[in-house]
Amino acid sequence: MLKVGLTGSIAVGKTFVLGVLRELGCYVIDADAIAREVVVPGTQGLNAVVEAFGSEIVKGDGTLDRAKLGSIVFADEVKRLRLNSILHPFIIAEEDQRLREWEQQDPKGIVVVDAALMIESGGYQRFDKLIVVHCRPEVQLQRLMRRNKLSRAEAEQRIATQMPQEEKKRYADYLIDTSGDFAGTRRQTEDVYHALREASASLQNRER
């Protein structure tokens, strides 16, 4: 199975690209969704977070109080890194389990994992190919302000915590520029998909 990482800075259009790749027949994993699943009530993940941050980060109904946890970790870099290092192994384990299942079902398939910070974390090295989605900085800022209802200053602050787009682009096997309209992004994604099919075929030949 060809394993593909999909990354890029916040609000550049990764989720849209992932949706197109799913329509085209790829298996897809959204790391943000996995990150929410590994801390649902009753999980080892939630227990580990409670051990580190105290029971006040759990709401009356037993679910994680994301707003409270967010206000703690975004105000304190050490705590933010601590939370990341607690959750990371659970997220990777869950992803790996899905990868193994799909690999058995469909060895010729393509699986794409969408994760914003896989270059920063080094996680991109697990993949055969890397797609970096990017757009012009002003477009990114406008999209983030609109999607997350943030002021310009708030949006700029969130963007500034991530590796600059120009630096991420250097890691890419394939680039997708989403600065234009959805149709243009879709066309580029289709081109990347065809290149991935070829990469998948040559991987099969090598493994035979």
HSE, side-chain direction, 13 A CA sphere, residue 134? 17
Burial of residue 25, with CB atoms counted within 10 A of its CB: 0-12 exposed, 13-18 middle, 19 or more buried? exposed
Cα dist from 172 to 43, 72, 176, whole Å: 35, 34, 10
Nearest CA-CA partner of 93 in 12, 165, 35: 35
- Could you say which of 1, 11, 38, 113 contacts ligand ADP (CB under 6 A)? 11
Binder of residue 74, out of Mg ion, ligand ADP, none (CB less than 5 to 8 A by kind): none
- First-to-last C-alpha distance (Å) of the chain: 13
Please give the residues from 18 up to 77 whose contact with ligand ADP meets the rule CB under 6 A.
Answer: none
Closest CB to Mg ion among residues 11, 64? 11
The Cα 179–Cα 176 span in angstroms is 9
The Cα 150–Cα 155 span in angstroms is 6
- Could you say which of 1, 117, 185, 192 contacts ligand ADP (CB under 6 A)? 185
Q: Contact between 162 and Mg ion (CB under 5 A)?
A: no
Other CB atoms within a 10 A radius of the CB of residue 7 amount to 28
Closest CB to Mg ion among residues 136, 143? 143
Nearest CA-CA partner of 3 in 207, 172, 196, 205: 196
- Could you say which of 5, 6, 7, 15 contacts Mg ion (CB under 5 A)? 15
Closest CB to ligand ADP among residues 1, 192? 192
Closest CB to ligand ADP among residues 11, 57? 11
Binder of residue 16, out of ligand ADP, Mg ion, none (CB less than 5 to 8 A by kind): ligand ADP
Question: How near is the Cβ of 186 to ligand ADP at its closest, in Å?
Answer: 8
Please give the residues from 123 up to 182 whose contact with ligand ADP meets the rule CB under 6 A.
Answer: 143, 147, 178, 180-182
- The binding site for ligand ADP (CB under 6 A) comprises 8, 10-16, 143, 147, 178, 180-182, 185
- The binding site for Mg ion (CB under 5 A) comprises 14-15
